[in-house]
Amino acid sequence: MAILTGYPELEITVEVDGQRAQEYDAPADEVEARAKEIDFHSITHVPIQESGSPFTIKYIESMPGKPFVFKLDSTKFSIPSHDGQKHKAEYQCFLDGIPTGYYSLPGGTKTTRDSSLSGNNESGWKLHRFQFSTLELVEGAAETQGDRTKQFGTLSVKLWHAIDSGRTSVLKPLDDPVSVQSVSETALKGKSVDSKVHFNSELISGPKKVHRFEHVDPDQRPFAIFEFRYRTMEGLMSEGIVPRPVKNEDDQLIDLEEAHQISQEPLTDIKPDPKNTRGIKPDPEIKRGIKREPVDSTHIPVCYKLRRLEDGKVEIDLTDD
């Protein structure tokens, strides 16, 4: 699970098709460099751990066609209420750079986020469930996404220090999320992004009003960010995040399917490499022939008689007399 060294009590994971995604560490120097680029808010009553960071990056495997959800655990984390107001964490999920709505994360709770909302109180509301899909790569495609391409293949959860105002308000109209359609390999700048987020949409009766939260920081800076970079397993191996598991006899990389086929081949098909037999000593018994067992002195020899027949053949008589 992704844990911040600065706030180790906060935990966020991603589940794909009902299973917790295996997490792979990003290069430490890259995580440190990215953290320095972000201006974080410092929570006065929850000091960050010494030498800890409010930022983390994990790689996970995407599975096109499968749903995914965020699991947020703040059972051990809380922002103490003071000055007569209820202090809480507020979070927002970003999918390929697409922002979803703000949600409350009270201390001592667990919550799940698997969808976003769009629409308005007049024309109706839609629920958009999160799912992975295959990203179409096009050579020489026109660049229309701008800086958003930097966020392709990335899920992030940002957290803010907020105050529960105790008031409600009419939910403002929200636009439908727009998925990535295609992207040129040039725009990805060497990253092996091969998946995207797809939204499965359905009509719902949306909420008329929502609770209002106010950011404590006037600049609305997040106090923590979890970033998950998703790729298929082939993409993870292409970026060197996951090592390829098998090499052939020429020390060349082979894919997993070929490795599986090799593992099923009978051992009789495997021939020794003549280059590797120089240091092997021959078995002395093979070289000299099989040793004969020494004659047992107690063994009684078989007696027999030879009698030559008229046609020149020899007859062997094994009788005792």
pLDDT of residue 297: 47
Report the candidate in 230, 159, 158 with the shortest Cα–Cα distance to residue 194. 230
pLDDT of residue 139: 78
pLDDT of residue 138: 83
Report the candidate in 54, 48, 172 with the shortest Cα–Cα distance to residue 102. 172
pLDDT of residue 49: 82
Other residues' Cβ atoms within 10 Å of the Cβ of residue 107: 17
State the Cα torsion 255-258-259-263 to the nearest 10°.
170
In a domain, 269, yes or no: no
Give the separation between CA 246 and CA 255, rounded to whole angstroms: 8
In a domain, 178, yes or no: yes
Report the candidate in 246, 150, 162, 224 with the shortest Cα–Cα distance to residue 191. 150
In a domain, 59, yes or no: yes
In a domain, 106, yes or no: yes
Other residues' Cβ atoms within 10 Å of the Cβ of residue 163: 18
Beta bridge partners of 93: 157
User: In Å, how far from its chain's centre is CA 75?
Assistant: 25
Give the separation between CA 26 and CA 232, rounded to whole angstroms: 16
pLDDT of residue 299: 47
In a domain, 262, yes or no: no
In a domain, 307, yes or no: no
pLDDT of residue 55: 97
Give the separation between CA 57 and CA 28, rounded to whole angstroms: 9
Which residue segment(s) compose the domain that 145 sits in?
A: 2-238
pLDDT of residue 286: 45
pLDDT of residue 2: 81
pLDDT of residue 32: 94
For the chain, how many structural domains are there in total?
1
> pTM of the full predicted structure?
0.75
Please give the chain's pLDDT, 321 residues, in tens.
Answer: 688 999 999 999 999 999 999 999 999 999 999 999 999 999 978 888 877 899 999 999 999 999 999 999 999 999 988 788 889 999 999 999 999 999 999 899 999 999 999 999 888 999 999 999 999 888 765 455 556 788 999 999 999 999 988 888 888 899 999 998 888 878 787 788 999 999 999 999 877 788 888 999 999 999 999 999 999 999 999 999 999 987 666 665 555 555 545 545 554 554 555 555 555 555 554 444 444 455 454 444 445 555 656 665 556 655 555
In a domain, 288, yes or no: no
In a domain, 245, yes or no: no
> Token digits for 286?
């093979």
